[in-house]
Amino acid sequence: MSGSRLMRAIRVSEFGGPTVLRLCSDVPVPVPGPRQVLIQVRACGVNPVETYIRSGSHGRKPTLPYTPGTDVAGVVEAVGEGVTAVKAGDRVFTTSTVSGGYAEFTVAAEDSVHWLPDALDFPQGSAIGIPYFTAYRALVHRARAKAGETVLIHGASGGVGVAACQLSRALGLRVLGTAGTPEGMKLALSNGAHLIFNHREEGYTDKIMEATGGAGVDIIVEMLSNVNLSKDLQMMANGGRVTVVGSRGSIEINPRDTMAKESCIMGVALFCATQEEKKECAALLYAGMEAGWLRPIVGSHYPLEKAAQAHHDIIESPGAAGKIVLTI
């Protein structure tokens, strides 16, 4: 591969608001090194964590300038030395990238590249990575969910929320969900939630407790901990677990709420997953694709040049309805 080919890509040269996402058309196409894969990107998922990293508020700060994006779907253009899992022309999706996914081409490590079944299109392929691997890590590796338990997906209509609904249902859990709009509520119900509640309604937590016969929920997958964590602790069953998937600030809680139910608050971070854990997760997700229950729901499509708008909307929109993706 000649390094002189140029491509369009989003570049971030300073941390800040969505406007720091700049489209450049003279970025060199990356060259795959040993055990790396060059992918022609057809779609790239947009995840909330990318907005935190871009703003400079996240614990991990990439070296500037950089291209955001971990979850791409596309076609293998070329492979580096020693790559055996995929070949040029294969349809694939990724769970991380080396050079950044908001671009026409990206390089990813071979062990982050997965074959994309024909039943899923490229936007759906770009909606698998962070959402489904996070949902699996929260439910299985952290909360150790067991069939028959009750789970509350607190924010069930976004990328991780829909993934958590589908996965929870497949694992044999009783699935309660919340959303902030009628569209989001409908989406969660059609993707595995047994019951759905509007988290913008006064007293919705009382309705959740009623639905559990007052016993509370065993597991909460929490997307907005800085708003909900205190309420979550009051909805726990004995031995309940809150998995913190997302938070946009701080919150005051009463630790006594954890004592009565011996409940647990646990963080979820995909970058802590071991190679074995990633393999286990990928195996279950492939089974889900074969069985048909894993079907990513794509909400809004944005062209690459509208990446800044996508970053604004994922944080500011009144309610999520499926996954936000860039199409390239």
Domain ranges of the chain: 6-127+296-327, 131-271
Distance, CA of 211 to CA of 208 (rounded, Å): 5
CB 96 within 8 A of CB 108: yes
Helix (H, G, I), strand (E, B) or coil at 253: coil
pLDDT(163) > 50 = yes
CB 173 within 8 A of CB 205: no
Mean predicted confidence (pLDDT) in 146-166? 96
Same CATH topology for 6-127+296-327 and 131-271?
no
Q: Tens digits of per-residue pLDDT, 290-304?
A: 999 999 999 999 999
Distance, CA of 107 to CA of 72 (rounded, Å): 10
Local confidence band at 322 (pLDDT 50, 70, 90 cut-offs): confident
Exposed / middle / buried, residue 117 (Cβ in 10 Å: 0-12, 13-18, 19+): middle
Q: Which two tokens stand for residue 186?
A: 């409908």
Q: To which residue do tokens 């941390």 refer?
A: 15
- Among left, alpha and beta (phi > 0; psi -120 to 50; other), residue 82 is left
pLDDT(17) > 70 = yes
At 129 the pLDDT is: 95
CB 242 within 8 A of CB 233: yes
Distance, CA of 46 to CA of 44 (rounded, Å): 7
Cα–Cα–Cα angle for 16, 21, 23, rounded to 5 degrees: 160
Q: Tens digits of per-residue pLDDT, 172-198?
A: 999 999 999 999 999 999 999 999 999
Output the pTM of the full model. Answer: 0.93
Q: If we measure between CA atoms, which residue out of 144, 101, 93 comes closest to residue 118?
A: 93
Distance, CA of 180 to CA of 139 (rounded, Å): 22
Distance, CA of 126 to CA of 323 (rounded, Å): 9
6-127+296-327: what CATH class? alpha beta
Q: Tens digits of per-residue pLDDT, 206-253?
A: 999 999 999 999 999 999 999 999 999 999 999 999 999 988 899 999
- CATH for 131-271 is 3.40.50.720
Mean predicted confidence (pLDDT) in 9-19? 97
Local confidence band at 36 (pLDDT 50, 70, 90 cut-offs): very high
pLDDT(115) > 80 = yes
Q: How far is CA 224 from CA 2, 44, 308, in A?
A: 45, 23, 22
